[in-house]
Amino acid sequence: MQPSDLDETGDEAGEAADEAAEEVRRRLAAESGDVEAMSVLGAMLLRRGDLDGAEPHLRAATAAGDRAAANNLGVLLHQRGYTDEAAGWWRIAAVAGSAPAAHALGRYHRERGDEPAAEYWLRQSAEQGHVLGAYALADLLEHRGDAGAERWMRAAAERGHREAAYRLARALDRRAARRSGADSGTEAADEAEQWYRQAAARGHRRAALHLGTILEKRGEVQEAGRWYLTSAKDGEPRAACALGFLLRDAGDSESAAVWWLRAAQEGDGNAANALGALHAERGETQTAERWYRAALDAGDDNGAYNLGLLCAEQGRTAQAEQWYRRAAYAGHREAANALAILLLHGGDETGAEPWFSKAAEAGSVDAAFNLGILYAGRGETESALRWYEVAAAAGHTEAALQVGMARLRDGDEREAERYLRCAAGGGSAEAAYRLAAVLDARRPPEPAHGLGESAHSKTECEEWYERAASQGHRRAQVRVGMLAAARGDVVEAARWYREAAEAGSRNGAFNLGLLLAREGSEPEAAVWWARAADAGHGRAALRLALVYARRGELDEGQRWADRAVELGPAEVAERAARLRDALRQELSA
């Protein structure tokens, strides 16, 4: 047994100011037949490792009925390898009420597979307040799945047992995860943190790692870093790896590499991958490849996936496929998705589809979206929509846009709005524009803005139009310009029309021309109408025909009228034809 199982009576030798003098005093008392002195002297010698010197004193005290001596004699015999004989003396001491002996006896029976006897003696020890007995009993009950394990684990933790504190925290952590969102889950998480903190403060390196993780998730990065550092210095590679990521995020890649190196050398695959990525970013591809291989050797499938990415970036397609396959067969979902993309680009749609499916079914959001694209390309609308919905539910912006547009086509405006809001909130300019259009169609018309009246306030739909416009969406820019013009804000309208026009929007160019013409800048307006007409805008061509007709440039007017007839729409073509005929008559007169 461990020295912590020693049982002593009277004053402990370690508490004496002069241990040598204490030993002499005990020897004299033992030689005179003092049983307690024999017991304490035997314990002192046993603790020092002097088994030969301790044994006669412990045997003599045991023969005189001293239970502490009986327990310590058991410890001595166990250290000599006479385990069964040791158990006999532990039984004598335990029956006499020795908690350490009951703990030792319980451990003895558990090692031999006699769990009922082990539980009996460990319970005797635990109920007497013996911390090691409480922990051993909790361990036995937990192994058996007994709900009573937590009570004894808590008892051991409360008495300062650091491993018990850590294991109690882990149990509470798991309970919190099962009850995520409920009040009981929050309480369990809070209590788990307290026990992690106590275990970490007592030097438990894994507790320090978990405490750091909790603090990092909460945004308390500095304190998290301190606990990661404590754990890493005690030899925990996962903490060294986590500390590396914190340092990298703080912009200190050099220090991050130091801790990743320490963790990778201890066999941490995640750290090896991080080192590989760091070297890849620096263009040191050979070193990156070496670390990715080290990660793979450590059992981290990300190593194979990252090797695939590295090879793909270098144009080594065959090798990339090989590494993707290795990771995909090991269950790496993003590798399966990457493999499918590689096969698809190579023209092997039949080979790509099952890998997309495997990745999507394993939870890859990108793969679910890609499956949607694959099915949509085949015209399998329902299958495509099903996978778009899966990806959208996981927060994929483009997938949410696709579902929203499908719902619009089906006439389900409420569902369309829900998906479009998700996509627009995720940064999709097209979704923001389409959401704005839905809201725009729903709102009642506003009264015209009169001179001297306050401008109308912006509606939600205009705010979405503006979000899309600020992301470069040309139709949104035109619409924002129109709404600004309706409010009487000519400067703002012109700004948005010009931005759309310069990005290639023919409607933007046409509307900018209208605005400039109203402001008396017809020559500049004609420039923008010409740009719009050249891009296929019939109304712009008609406006140009009218401008040139008024100027008396009849040939140019007729040319633009012909262009307007070609471009349409019908009402524009009809007006342009009348104008063209009039210009012809004028020219032939």
For residue range 376-392, list pLDDT tens digits in order. Answer: 999 999 999 999 999 99
511 found inside a domain: yes
Domain count, the chain: 1
What is the pLDDT averaged over residues 577-589? 81
At CA 283, angle to CA 281 and CA 289, rounded to 5? 85
Range of the domain at 582: 461-588
pLDDT higher than threshold 70 for residue 73: yes
Burial 510-522 (b: 16+ CB within 10 A, else e): bbbbbbbbeeeeb
Reading the block at residue 570, the tokens are 């019908």
514 found inside a domain: yes
Query: Residue 77: what residue type?
Result: L
Is 557:527 a contact under the CB 8 Å cutoff?
no
515 found inside a domain: yes
Q: Count CA atoms closer than 13 A to 132's CA, side-chain side.
A: 17
Reading the block at residue 393, the tokens are 């539910």
What is the pLDDT averaged over residues 187-194? 94
pLDDT higher than threshold 70 for residue 17: no
- Mean model confidence pLDDT for the chain: 91
pLDDT higher than threshold 50 for residue 39: yes
Note the pLDDT of residue 20: 80
415 found inside a domain: no
pLDDT higher than threshold 70 for residue 141: yes
Cα–Cα distance, 267 to 298 (Å, whole number):
6
Note the pLDDT of residue 214: 97
pLDDT tens per residue across span 430-446: 999 999 999 998 876 66
536 found inside a domain: yes
Closest CA to 472 of 429, 427, 422: 429
- Phi (first) and psi of residue 219, to 5 degrees: 90, 5
% the chain with pLDDT above 90: 83
Band of the pLDDT at 6, cuts 50, 70, 90?
low
Note the pLDDT of residue 457: 65
Cα–Cα distance, 460 to 478 (Å, whole number):
17
CA quadruple 228, 230, 232, 238: dihedral sign: negative
109 found inside a domain: no
Note the pLDDT of residue 583: 84
368 found inside a domain: no
Note the pLDDT of residue 451: 41
Cα–Cα distance, 259 to 41 (Å, whole number):
49
- 3-state secondary structure (DSSP) of residue 495: helix
Band of the pLDDT at 274, cuts 50, 70, 90?
very high
Band of the pLDDT at 448, cuts 50, 70, 90?
low
What is the pLDDT averaged over residues 340-346? 95
* 42, 70, 92, 117 from 97: Cα distances, Å: 20, 11, 9, 16
Is 306:277 a contact under the CB 8 Å cutoff?
yes
Q: What is the CATH number of the domain that holds 501?
A: 1.25.40.10
What is the pLDDT averaged over residues 157-168? 96
Mean pLDDT is lowest, of 22-26, 40-44, 101-105, for: 22-26
pLDDT tens per residue across span 406-417: 999 999 999 999
Mean pLDDT is lowest, of 153-157, 451-455, 457-461, for: 451-455
| Of 452 and 224, the one with more pLDDT | 224
Reading the block at residue 85, the tokens are 């004989």
The whole model's pTM is what?
0.73
What is the pLDDT averaged over residues 534-555? 92
Mean pLDDT is lowest, of 253-267, 301-315, 555-569, for: 555-569
539 found inside a domain: yes
Reading the block at residue 584, the tokens are 């012809």
CA quadruple 66, 68, 71, 73: dihedral sign: negative
Cα–Cα distance, 6 to 4 (Å, whole number):
5
- Phi (first) and psi of residue 452, to 5 degrees: 90, -10
pLDDT higher than threshold 60 for residue 447: no
Note the pLDDT of residue 3: 41
Cα–Cα distance, 463 to 575 (Å, whole number):
37
Cα–Cα distance, 511 to 515 (Å, whole number):
6
% the chain with pLDDT above 70: 94
* 314, 363, 392, 468, 557 from 341: Cα distances, Å: 16, 16, 20, 30, 54
